[in-house]
């Protein structure tokens, strides 16, 4: 059944000139039909190289918005219109503008997990894999980092030369893991290396052997000689790694790191959108030229500083 649907998707991709982008947190059967898979940074960079008329994002809303901003002339679709990221909507642009008015020399760095409306008032966008490098490369010494205070704390520690202000925001999924969860996982698997995403709280990531983005974690596990790993990010990553490296053992840091939004997209959503694109259907991201130009500036700046 899964194979049949996948075959139909591959056929529809050709017929309707579609490129499928899938975040690494998507299910295996979706990743298998995707043309480009990766973390947020890879998806934003690769989205610019797409030559197809239609782009289908399997991920959450801000990722489809970013793909649209980078490809204004293409039709960009989100496989499941209900898939949003709660962190992306945590802060209002007005609040950031108030801080900017009080401290005009403080540059605003936003995580890519933000709405286009919020990106418009920010100077530079970052992803978890590019955040430290970009903040180090910025001319400014005074920075406001939004919305994730955990990723922000990670950047702050890596860039002690900068004055970094943080606000109370973050990923409710990664932040649900506690130090007690970490101790329990380490006790259960004492020989395993712990690989953690910087969206986890500092008390958790400080106990990890490696802290990095989704791709960073996957690359570390691929290159390490270790045989056992505790994976401190969305549980799909432990599953993908286990398929890729059957000779190694991958455990989840906590069953709580399951993103309900990333799990909303099903293979049938992908199939239906691919079919819909051929006859005027599918959930298309609509943005005005002005919205794209004003929000895209900080993504272009990210690519300039991080590339
Ligand atoms: P990265 O793809 O930057 O690792 O992000 C993790 C995440 O939570 C995406 O929503
Ligand atoms: Fe948003 Fe966290 Fe889910 Fe990523 S894992 S989409 S940051 S809620």
ipTM: 0.96
Cα of 238 to ligand 1 centre, how many Å?
15
Residue 307 has pLDDT above 70, yes or no: no
**Closest ligand 2 atom to 60 CA:** 6
Q: Which ligand is nearest to the CA of 37?
A: 1
Q: Give the three-state DSSP class for 45.
A: helix
**Closest ligand 2 atom to 88 CA:** 1
237 close to ligand 2 (CB < 6 Angstrom): no
Cα of 259 to ligand 1 centre, how many Å?
11
Measuring from atom 7 of ligand 2, which residue has the nearest CA? 171
Cα of 14 to ligand 2 centre, how many Å?
31
| Segment among 44-58, 138-152, 177-191, 213-227 with least mean pLDDT | 44-58
CA 192, CA 185: separation in Å to the nearest integer?
9
Residue 218 has pLDDT above 70, yes or no: yes
Burial 30-41 (b: 16+ CB within 10 A, else e): bbbbbebbbbbb
CA 155, CA 194: separation in Å to the nearest integer?
19
Residue 305 confidence (pLDDT): 87
Residue 304 confidence (pLDDT): 87
CA angle 187, 193, 199 (to 5 degrees): 95
234 close to ligand 2 (CB < 6 Angstrom): yes
All domains of the chain, ordered by start, with CATH? 2-83+262-286 (3.40.50.10800), 87-170+296-306 (3.40.50.10800), 174-252 (3.40.50.10800)
First to last CA, the chain: 41
**Closest ligand 1 atom to 199 CA:** 8
Provide mean pLDDT across the span 226-238: 97
Number of neighbours of residue 87 by Cβ within 10 angstroms: 25
Measuring from atom 2 of ligand 2, which residue has the nearest CA? 171
């Amino acid at each position: 059944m899964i194979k049949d649907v996948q075959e139909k998707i591959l056929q529809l991709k050709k017929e309707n000139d579609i490129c499928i982008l899938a975040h690494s947190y998507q299910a295996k059967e979706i990743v298998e039909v995707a043309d480009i898979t990766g973390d947020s940074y890879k998806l934003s960079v690769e989205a610019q190289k797409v030559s197809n008329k239609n782009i289908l994002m399997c991920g959450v809303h801000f990722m489809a918005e970013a793909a649209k901003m980078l490809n204004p002339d293409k039709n960009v679709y989100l496989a499941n219109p209900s898939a949003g990221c709660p962190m992306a909507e945590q802060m209002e642009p007005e609040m950031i503008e108030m801080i900017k008015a009080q401290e005009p020399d403080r540059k605003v760095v936003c995580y890519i997990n933000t709405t286009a409306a919020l990106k418009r008032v920010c100077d530079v966008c970052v992803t978890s894999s590019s955040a430290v490098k970009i903040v180090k490369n910025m001319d400014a010494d005074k920075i406001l980092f939004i919305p994730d205070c955990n990723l922000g704390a990670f950047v702050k520690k890596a860039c002690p030369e900068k004055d970094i202000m943080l606000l109370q925001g973050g990923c409710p999924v990664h932040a649900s893991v506690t130090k007690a969860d970490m101790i329990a996982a380490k006790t259960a698997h004492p020989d395993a290396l712990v690989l953690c995403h910087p969206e986890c709280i500092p008390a958790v990531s400080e106990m990890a052997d490696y802290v990095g983005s989704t791709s960073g974690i996957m690359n570390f596990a691929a290159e390490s000689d270790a045989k056992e790993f505790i994976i401190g990010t969305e549980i799909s990553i432990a599953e993908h790694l286990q398929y890729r490296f059957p000779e190694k053992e991958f455990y989840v840091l906590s069953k709580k790191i399951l993103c309900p939004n990333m799990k909303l997209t099903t293979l049938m959503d992908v199939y239906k959108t691919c079919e819909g694109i051929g006859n005027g259907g599918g959930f298309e991201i609509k943005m005005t030229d002005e919205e794209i130009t004003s929000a895209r500036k900080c993504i272009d700046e990210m690519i300039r500083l991080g590339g």
